[in-house]
């Protein structure tokens, strides 16, 4: 059957500068195996599949797939899915609710800049010495280069590593292959007066054990914000940069309201069409 899809650029600062996500809008009837196969064919970091909500509080339900697994939550797929749903339905709502495996996620719109409320961390706190040693090996840095390291897992499994500066973050030259699955978030402060407050990088294992870098990562930035704001290492609002090392210019807008942390970015559908699948 024919199904609508959109290719959405999320967290961009100009066309083709953010992180693309493929959104399949008419996903009823697709099996898990179908969704994984379609995701591999699109060959993007994530593809999402929109379904009828299972609760009246939600506007839609989404399933989020990487090339090798399904995720309970991910940030840029959430914003891309919300934007695609709003565009496809013609909804005038400025606040919608997404249902996914971690529960209900509010998404608020300010023009073409949707923002999601950061979900609670599934795992936080100290990282054991063996894990730190593994991270140091993967990043090819020294242990004393690390300012702080902590679990910041809101679905993908992030460990957050703070380095002394944005320059130190950009200078990291990680190894290309690691036997164990690993998800590392890097953050470092930008110089005073810079247009962004922090430089962020996301390094993780692909389906074959290779270490790859994500252009712009909403889930990681949500976890970064939660950790930095909780410990007084940042104040909101602020803007983070990501994708610099890959030639992208992602911009992530972090705000805080009534105790909730919101992660937003400029979002735009660049391609849309019908697929026969």
121-145 pLDDT tens trace: 989 999 999 999 999 999 999 999 9
Tell me the C-alpha distance between 70 and 68, whole Å: 7
Residues of the chain with CATH 3.10.310.10: 2-116+263-276, 123-262
Q: For residue 63, which of 240, 175, 54, 125 has the smallest C-alpha distance? A: 54
Which one from 46, 134, 150, 183 is the annotated catalytic residue? 46
Structure token pair of residue 22: 């493929």
Residue 199: both structure tokens together: 């430089």
Decide if 46 is catalytic: yes
CATH superfamily of 123-262: Diaminopimelate Epimerase; Chain A, domain 1 (3.10.310.10)
Q: What is the mean pLDDT of the chain?
A: 96
Return the number of other C-beta atoms located less than 10 Å from residue 43's C-beta. Answer: 9
pLDDT at 102 over 90: no
pLDDT digits (tens, 9 = 90+) for 3-31: 999 999 999 999 999 999 999 999 999 99
List 71's β-bridge partners, or say none.
64
**What pLDDT, in 10s, does the model give residues 167-226?**
999 999 999 999 999 999 999 999 999 999 999 999 999 888 999 999 999 999 999 999
Residues 6+ apart with CB under 8 A from 40: 67
Q: Tell me the sheet residues that pair with 106.
A: 97
| pLDDT score at 101 | 92
**CA 171 → CA 154, 188, 228, distances in Å?**
26, 11, 21
**How large is the angle between the packed helices 75-89 and 218-230, nearest 10 degrees?**
120
- The fold for domain 2-116+263-276 equals Diaminopimelate Epimerase; Chain A, domain 1 (3.10.310)
pTM for the predicted model, two decimal places: 0.95
């Amino acid at each position: 059957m024919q199904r609508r899809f959109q290719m959405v650029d999320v967290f961009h600062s100009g066309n083709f500068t953010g992180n693309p996500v493929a959104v399949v809008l008419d996903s009823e009837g697709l099996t898990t195996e179908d969704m994984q196969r379609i995701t591999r064919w699109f060959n993007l970091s994530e593809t999402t599949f929109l379904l009828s909500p299972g609760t009246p509080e939600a506007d839609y339900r989404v399933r989020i797939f990487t090339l090798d697994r399904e995720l309970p939550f991910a940030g840029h797929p959430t914003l891309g899915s919300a934007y695609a749903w709003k565009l496809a339905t013609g909804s005038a709502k400025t606040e919608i609710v997404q249902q996914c495996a971690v529960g209900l996620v509010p998404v608020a719109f300010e023009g073409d800049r949707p923002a999601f409320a950061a979900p609670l961390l599934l795992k936080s706190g100290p990282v054991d010495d063996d894990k730190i040693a593994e991270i140091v090996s993967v990043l090819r840095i020294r242990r004393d280069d690390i300012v702080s390291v902590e679990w910041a897992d809101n679905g993908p499994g992030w460990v957050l590593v703070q380095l002394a500066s944005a320059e130190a973050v950009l200078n990291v030259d990680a190894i290309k292959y690691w036997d164990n699955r690993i998800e590392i978030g890097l953050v470092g402060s930008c110089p005073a007066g810079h247009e962004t407050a922090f430089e962020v990088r996301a390094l993780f294992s692909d389906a074959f054990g290779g270490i790859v870098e994500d252009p712009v990562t909403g889930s990681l930035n949500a976890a970064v914000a939660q950790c930095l704001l909780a410990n007084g290492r940042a104040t909101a609002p602020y803007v983070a940069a990501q994708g610099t090392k890959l030639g992208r210019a992602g911009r992530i807008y972090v705000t805080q309201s009534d105790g909730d942390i919101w992660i937003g970015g400029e979002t735009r559908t660049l391609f849309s069409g019908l697929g026969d699948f």
